[in-house]
Amino acid sequence: MLKNINSIVRIFPDYEDKIDFLFQTDEDFRDLCKDYLLCASNVLEMKTEISNFSAQTREYEDLQRNLEQEILQMITRKE
């Protein structure tokens, strides 16, 4: 499994094999994971800059949660 999807596996540990399979075989799933990882990275960066913890940060956190839900839907739908 690719190192950069470990954070997704940590969120959905019961689906590790499925995540690995989808990441290797499904371009839409890969794109969704990449979007999530970029969003999560931005949230973390914004949180470290305390002065920037604002509405924009909350928007990214909302986006991050929405992307997590999309990932879970793709994982469970393609079983």
Question: pLDDT for 40-76, tens place per residue?
Answer: 888 888 777 766 567 777 888 899 999 999 999 999 9
Q: What is the dihedral of CA 40, 58, 32, 37, to 10 degrees?
A: -10
Whether residue 56 contacts residue 26, with contact meaning beta carbons closer than 8 Å, is answered with no
Q: What is the mean pLDDT of residues 24-35?
A: 94
- Model's pTM, two decimal places? 0.68
CA-nearest of 69, 79, 78 to 36 is 69
**pLDDT (0 to 100) of residue 53:** 66
